[in-house]
Structure 1
Amino acid sequence: MSKKIEYSLFDDVSGFVDDAAKHLDLHPGLLDQIKQCNSIYKFNFPLRNDDGTYETLTGYRIQHSHHKLPVKGGIRYSEHVDEEEVKGLAALMTYKCALVNVPFGGAKGGVSIDPLKYNEGQMERITRRYTAELIKKKFIGPAIDVPAPDYGTGAREMAWIVDTFEAFNPELINAKGAVTGKPLSQHGIDGRTEATGQGVFFGIREAVSVEDDMQALGLTVGLKGKRIIIQGLGNVGYYSAKYLSEAGAKIVGVAEWNGGIWDESGIDIEALKTYQIENKGFKGFKKGEFIKNSKELLTYPCDILVPAALENQITKENAAQIQAKIIGEAANGPVTNEAEKILLKNGVMVIPDMYLNAGGVTVSYFEWLKNLSRVSFGKLEKRYDMEKYRKLLGTIENATGERFTDDEKDGLIKGASERDLVLSGLEETMVTAYHDMNRTRKEKGIQSLRTAGFILALQRIAISYMDLGIFP
């Protein structure tokens, strides 16, 4: 009996690349080089448990593209981690960084575990040993490979990673730049926690601001009144929902792995998140209808569907039932290649993951720059700017005879904090990238924003290789 072929995210990403390459005149050898993973590191290591028993864990770090260094990508702790998944996620990082013009190659890593089954001490031992394995093979370093948090990891794990790296490299002055997503106490950056969700908001906001695109979808311009369903209320889903609802959208559905909530009158995201933390799920939430099989929510009526959980959620099996006019891929690879073809045929706009969830890597880039420069953003110029604005206000008051209130003065002379500058840089990145991508889509006469994004990314990666003289 033949073995069943499992879904491959890497093959799906390669399929998207092939679709984009049809619109470009690339050397076949160059295209093949761009698509393949440059380095694959799979390793096994022991974990000694508290009861004295041992188990062997499998870790991965895959560097997809060395066209720019360092490479960049998160570390995922999940039972679903395997080589094909990590290859696909690493490849997505390459094209994502190229699309938003962040100067990194793509990478990804992970350990095949369920983090909920391990206590804090075990998690620390796993993370430090994983880091040591990367150090041994030079798969981590501020100029080589810079990991970040991903599904199942966070600032805590990044603190352990940077501490381990510094212990192995005491002479390296830029050691803090070996990993991003660190706590602020470990030279992280203000705004990183919500960066991906904030980027999702900026991306969707830009998409619904284009009048002719919204007319084609039968929607009004702007977020106000838009009905939104979110899949996943973790870090990305929560902040996406928070900023979208604050902008006037109405969250009508939220799906999680252990059930969802549906409420056409609108869901209070803060109340739902608080309830989820206290009760480990949505069952029993006082408002709305509890949906046991939460994946059904993907097919409920809405204007915008935001899958912010795992990959492979919208497939050829359920794509035809999707009622949303816009799908915003906040997760990595939630819509398969086959599913997207069905969605586009049905007139659905898909805002691709390679663009929409680039907020995390964009702010990680800012954190890496901060670590290399060893100075916080805004620290040098903030007080200078405040004094300059104070003098300007005094000049205006003297010229007009009017006086500003103390509150008005405080608001007008306030210098930019690190967080202000980070969010400003993130917004600029997301706004510019969206309109570059949408313009390319229209110039090429294609329907898919994803294909347009890959066209832009391929052009930029190809130029990097050709400038090195490797390909004609």
Structure 2
Amino acid sequence: MAQNQEYSLFEDVCSFVDDAAQHMELHPGLLEQIKQCNSIYKFHFPVRMDDGSYQVVKGYRVQHSHHKLPVKGGIRFSEMVNEQEVMGLASLMTFKCAMVNIPFGGAKGGVNIDPLAYNTRQLEKITRRYTSELIKKKFIGPAIDVPAPDYGTGAREMAWIVDTYEAFNPEAINAKACVTGKPLSQHGIEGRTEATGMGVYIGIREAVSVKEDMESLGLTTGLQDKKIIIQGLGNVGFYSAKYLSEAGAKIIGVAEWNGGIWDENGIDIEALKEYQIENKGFEGYGKGEFIKDSASLLEKECDILVPAALENQITSENAGKIKAKIIGEAANGPITKEAEKILLDREIFVIPDMYLNAGGVTVSYFEWLKNLSRVSFGKLEKRYDMEKYKFLLDSIENATGDAFKQEQRDAIVKGASERDLVISGLEETMVTAYHDLNEMRKNKKIKSLRTAAFILAIERIAISYTDMGIFP
């Protein structure tokens, strides 16, 4: 769906804050401080192209809240990047981190380019120059502002960023912690690639586990046989679909910008992804029906709709046509405020982005901690735990006279790897946060999980400002 140039994600987020504030007692000055962006850096820089010509590129970095430092948020490369979008995404990061109790302020960055229009060498030039601009103004650093991948960027770009930062700061022992989402060879962390998608899966799994909520929607509990449509098969959409299908759900539709696939018998997500990579789209895929107008897939009947692409995808124009009973916002800001009101009036259950999309920043937090401690998770205790469990099993066998099967022994004795610990920490964060916000929703007797999430986040941010003595 084309993005409406009049739409402001930042204004939407501010209005969500105002909605939440109606259920709270806040100092007016504190409320205004919580809403505003603390720092906005907008800049232009020239890039020399391969043919000797120059292009002037526009970049942004917005730090929304300094109630906790460092601030945290991704960098996106997209032609749709503009100041209002980056401000809105930065503000969402503030509330997202507070909602899941991650000790970061919110930030976001962007470069206004189409990454597909540049080769690898040109993208490296743009990324390194963008980073140097951030360094000059102290808009990046392990204790200041820690970027991460976002739409149009990935581990490769993060490697260029950390290498550039280290070149400017050769004495900084914690330089690797200036950015997260790095390749493993550059001190990234196991589990970061799939973290956001796994967080989406865990969040939806928790939502459909609450019997009272599912009965009100006319659904059974659990993911088994739930019919799901995914919008966007990038990193987040792919891993969301993969883990949901592995848990027993049926993916019946996948929408991308250049077409979609519809198959009520269920879609093999890994096979579809392989085809997409090889053919740059879904057209010609051997199974299911190719849908040229992929936006129409959002309006097809299903149990759960997962928009995992860009913001502003469900608006007042199509909200009345949505047939899903649950919408899980895997992307940032896919539902406008006007659209959400329509959806809630129609008793559609919306799991908000500021919670559901938090898996990435959660594991980024773990990567940041790993870089500061300069040791991999599990490295110190893994062998100790293995020996302890082995001794325990041997003692049980000696006492009972029975022997464990080898596969049982292997499963119990196995020490936790870095990925095991990361996924465990992610699951604990997402499970606890969901039930906290759902309890808040019920205590406040409100329909909107989003409003409940903002209330919970604002409470935590307000405590930070109060404890600093800035507001009474």
**TM-score, structure 2 normalization:** 0.99
The amino acid of 2:289's aligned partner reads E
Q: 1:88 corresponds to which residue? A: 88
Aligned to 1:270, the other structure's residue is in SS state helix
Distance 1:281 1:384 in 2: 48
- Please provide the CA RMSD for this pair: 0.7
Task: Give a deviation string over 1:329-365, Cα, whole Å, max 9, x none.
Answer: 0000000000000000000000000000100000000
User: By how many angstroms is 1:408 displaced?
Assistant: 2.1
Q: 1:107 corresponds to which residue? A: 107
User: By how many angstroms is 1:410 displaced?
Assistant: 1.3
Q: 2:44 corresponds to which residue? A: 44
1:449 paired with 2:433, answer: no
User: By how many angstroms is 1:5 displaced?
Assistant: 7.0
User: By how many angstroms is 1:420 displaced?
Assistant: 0.1
Aligned to 1:56, the other structure's residue is in SS state strand
1:396 paired with 2:396, answer: yes
1:18 paired with 2:6, answer: no
Distance 2:23 2:292 in 1: 44
Distance 1:55 1:368 in 2: 34
Aligned to 1:450, the other structure's residue is in SS state helix
Task: Give a deviation string over 1:365-408, Cα, whole Å, max 9, x none.
Answer: 00000000000000000000000000000000000111123322
Task: Give a deviation string over 1:308-339, Cα, whole Å, max 9, x none.
Answer: 00000000000000000000000000000000
User: By how many angstroms is 1:462 displaced?
Assistant: 0.4
Q: 2:247 corresponds to which residue? A: 247
After superposition, where does 1:31-430 map in structure 2 within 5 Å? 31-430=31-430
Distance 1:408 1:263 in 2: 39
User: By how many angstroms is 1:437 displaced?
Assistant: 0.2
The amino acid of 1:266's aligned partner reads G
Deviates more, 1:266-275 or 1:222-231: 266-275
Distance 1:342 1:388 in 2: 56
Structure 2's unaligned 5+ residue stretches are: none
User: By how many angstroms is 1:411 displaced?
Assistant: 1.2
Aligned to 2:58, the other structure's residue is in SS state strand
**TM-score, structure 1 normalization:** 0.99
Aligned to 1:98, the other structure's residue is in SS state helix
After superposition, where does 1:428-439 map in structure 2 within 5 Å? 428-439=428-439
Sequence identity percentage: 79
The amino acid of 2:214's aligned partner reads M
Aligned to 1:411, the other structure's residue is in SS state helix
Aligned to 1:52, the other structure's residue is in SS state coil
User: By how many angstroms is 1:415 displaced?
Assistant: 0.3
Task: Give a deviation string over 1:81-116, Cα, whole Å, max 9, x none.
Answer: 000000000000000000000000000001000000
Q: How many residues align?
A: 469
Distance 2:405 2:207 in 1: 39
Q: Do the aligned partners of residues 5 and 297 (structure 1) sit closer, same or farther apart at CA in structure 2, a change above 3 Å counting?
A: closer
Distance 1:403 1:28 in 2: 67
Task: Give a deviation string over 1:9-60, Cα, whole Å, max 9, x none.
Answer: 0001111111000000000000000000000000000000000000100000
The amino acid of 2:418's aligned partner reads E
The amino acid of 1:150's aligned partner reads D
1:460 paired with 2:460, answer: yes
Distance 1:5 1:206 in 2: 36
Distance 1:459 1:408 in 2: 46
Distance 2:88 2:408 in 1: 51
Distance 1:285 1:51 in 2: 38
The amino acid of 1:179's aligned partner reads V
Distance 2:319 2:405 in 1: 56
Aligned to 2:462, the other structure's residue is in SS state helix
User: By how many angstroms is 1:135 displaced?
Assistant: 0.3
The amino acid of 1:233's aligned partner reads L
Task: Give a deviation string over 1:202-258, Cα, whole Å, max 9, x none.
Answer: 000000000000000000000001000000000000000000000000000000000
The amino acid of 2:62's aligned partner reads I
Distance 2:62 2:200 in 1: 26
